[in-house]
Structure 1
Amino acid sequence: MRKKIVLSAAFALSAAQMAMAAAPEKPAPEKPKTRPSAEIIKAAPASDWREIDPADLLVMVLAPDGNGKTRQVIIQLLPAPISQGWIGNMRKLAAAHWWDNGAVYRVQDNWVAQFGDPDEDTPQAKPLPPGLAKVPESDYLLRAFAAPEYINPGHDAYAPHTGIDMGFPMAFDDNHVWPVHCYGSVGVGRNNSPDTGMGAELYAVIGTPPRQLDRNIAVVGRVIEGIEHLSSLPRAPGNGMYNDKAKNTPILSIRLGNDLPPADRPHFEYLSSASASFRDYVNARVNRHDDFIIYSPGAADICNIPIPVRRRG
């Protein structure tokens, strides 16, 4: 009797499995697709864009590459009141043409490309122009009067909060706000504390964002065009300093944008971080759903929210 019951149960199970196999599978529910971020940027109205004053742009011209191609790097300076002690020095250095005939003398893989006077620490160092300020370490931070225009809800390992203000990635707590190191950020080289640097020796981040430098070194701007002319330079071993000056990349000139002839002045604008278009753009990045993306995290590191910038005209 027991054998018959077992056989009957096995037959019933087999029949159920056959029925399940024969039943057509229900199609997986289609994932809702988000509007592509590039489309949002393209459709953003003119009122959502903010012009960058040419006076807030540094235009660095490097020696032509091996094929004779012009290499130009454009740096947007942080707006007042952030890092203005160093930026004021940089304006004086540019006006004095101090960087002319300088060089990119350090390129360290996954770290920075550093430029200025390659003879900085030698008797042949180029004299600095008069009137440069010595900036205190306290100026790495700015007393916060208001939260950034866009607050990033994602968790951050280096600060209580992050956001974007006036087109720049920032971090903040209850009392202070400070600029952060992302790819393309430009900072001020310095020696050991309490030295904070004068703004003559600068570096651009060309690797994983070194956020551990936040609040330890002054961030003064970011490269908005031409970062490839720095990130593609040959790497030097160790700390990235070339041991042969012939390997340096010469700097022909660095000028403020408004000091160039009118026809040569750069004209850029960025998508306002206070605009609805910017919020839609961020949402499309952090909640992306399309035929390629399987899992959308719903959040982003502050350095993974690049601020859209475009040339005007």
Structure 2
Amino acid sequence: MRLIPPSVSAVAVVAASLSLASASMAAPVTPASVLAEAPAAAWIAPAPEDLLVMDLAGGKRVVIALAPSFAPVHVGNIKALARAHWYDGLWIERVQDNYVVQWGDPTEKKPLPEGVAADPPAEYERSAAGLVVAPHPYRDTFAPATGFVAGWPVAEEDGQAWLTHCYGMVGVGRNNAPSTGSGAELYAIIGHAPRQLDRNIALVGRVLTGIEGMTALPRGGEAMGFYKTEAERLPIVSARLASDLPEADRPRVRVLDTASPAFAAWVKIRANRKDDFYIRPAGAIDLCSVMPPVKEGD
């Protein structure tokens, strides 16, 4: 039997059908797939002098990126306290469910090193002038404009900008005003973002890795989640700037560049998921739900 080759048009129809079938079978775009395809250049390593490395009893390590461009005096205090080894031997003293983990000196009797300001200026906001903001495209409840500045979640109004209380953000514990806190007491958000605290407390950084070691701690039984006895508190073995650690002991962390196309694509797909699980895309997402992803390792 003689085989008759198909016509050009028939070949085109078959090819188009195969292409459509292949497209329909392709894996959906997900946040994970966007991150997997992000180029190496989209991941930025924080400066070692702006990383606070806190080692806790039991082998837990917490790595905190500091934000000197938003709270320079408070961050300067924290760096001075770390260089003086002041945090060593203190404790995680408070774990309040759906709120914060707090650490420092619960007695408030340990003298501060020379040069540490006991009550710095109220660095609760700063001028927005000169900030390069990657705008967040979705509406915010607490501010008319939000976005990211070099990886930091920021809100803006009337020419002023401030860091926002998102999960993992680190702030300075203080007493009632005019106290602003020295950095001797720090806390990290471990619950739903308490944005009502914005512009009321100095935010100084973000936990990049190790927050799971904090969120899993037993909740304190006293008011506001404080532990009643020293035996309940988790000791801080050491707190050092990464720049003061041997090279081999420095954390290898990178944060997705919030000015990169990869971050914009990740935010968009997080707000508009439509895959095997998601039936109805939300079409929106809040600022604190798109904190820049962190990658460990070289």
Amino acid paired to 1:297: A
**Taking structure 1 as the reference length, what is the TM-score of the superposition?**
0.84
Partner of residue 228, structure 2:
243
In the alignment, which of 253, 257, 263 is matched to residue 238 of structure 2? Answer: 253
In the alignment, which of 81, 85, 104 is matched to residue 116 of structure 1? Answer: 104
Amino acid paired to 1:213: L
C-alpha separation in 2, matches of 1:146 and 1:164: 13
Alpha-carbon distance change, 179 to 216 in structure 1, aligned in 2, over 3 angstroms: same
Amino acid paired to 2:66: L
Amino acid paired to 2:62: V
Shift of 1:140: 1.0
In the alignment, which of 184, 192, 195 is matched to residue 208 of structure 1? Answer: 192
C-alpha separation in 2, matches of 1:284 and 1:34: 10
In the alignment, which of 273, 294, 303 is matched to residue 288 of structure 2? Answer: 303
Within 5 Å, give how 1:1-313 maps onto structure 2: 34-64=28-58, 70-78=59-67, 80-120=68-108, 125-133=109-117, 134-137=119-122, 139-146=123-130, 148-237=132-221, 238-313=223-298
Shift of 1:102: 0.2
Partner of residue 17, structure 2:
none
Encode CA deviations 1:140-190: one digit per residue, 9 max, x unaligned: 111011465321122211111111111111111131110011111110000
SS of the residue corresponding to residue 238 of structure 2 reads strand
Shift of 1:279: 0.6
Amino acid paired to 2:40: A
Amino acid paired to 1:62: L
Percent identity over the alignment? 47
C-alpha separation in 2, matches of 1:297 and 1:147: 30
SS of the residue corresponding to residue 69 of structure 2 reads coil
Bigger drift between 83-92 and 128-137 goes to 128-137
C-alpha separation in 1, matches of 2:74 and 2:28: 42
C-alpha separation in 2, matches of 1:148 and 1:287: 26
Encode CA deviations 1:258-291: one digit per residue, 9 max, x unaligned: 1111110112211111111111111110011101
**Taking structure 2 as the reference length, what is the TM-score of the superposition?**
0.88
Amino acid paired to 1:55: E
C-alpha separation in 1, matches of 2:270 and 2:131: 22
SS of the residue corresponding to residue 177 of structure 1 reads strand
C-alpha separation in 2, matches of 1:250 and 1:297: 43
Encode CA deviations 1:173-222: one digit per residue, 9 max, x unaligned: 13111001111111000000111000110001111111110000011111
Amino acid paired to 1:45: P
Encode CA deviations 1:63-107: one digit per residue, 9 max, x unaligned: 11xxxxx111111111x4211110000000000000000000111
C-alpha separation in 2, matches of 1:144 and 1:151: 13
C-alpha separation in 2, matches of 1:296 and 1:242: 42
SS of the residue corresponding to residue 233 of structure 1 reads coil
Bigger drift between 140-149 and 288-297 goes to 140-149
SS of the residue corresponding to residue 91 of structure 1 reads helix
C-alpha separation in 2, matches of 1:146 and 1:256: 27
Shift of 1:33: 7.8
C-alpha separation in 1, matches of 2:254 and 2:233: 32
Amino acid paired to 1:192: N
- Unaligned regions of 5+ residues in structure 1, if any? 1-29, 65-69
Encode CA deviations 1:95-134: one digit per residue, 9 max, x unaligned: 00000000001111111110011211xxxx1110011133
C-alpha separation in 2, matches of 1:33 and 1:136: 52
Partner of residue 27, structure 1:
none
Encode CA deviations 1:232-269: one digit per residue, 9 max, x unaligned: 11001331111111101111000001111111011221
- Unaligned regions of 5+ residues in structure 2, if any? 1-23
Please report the RMSD computed on the Cα atoms of aligned residues, expressed in angstroms: 1.5
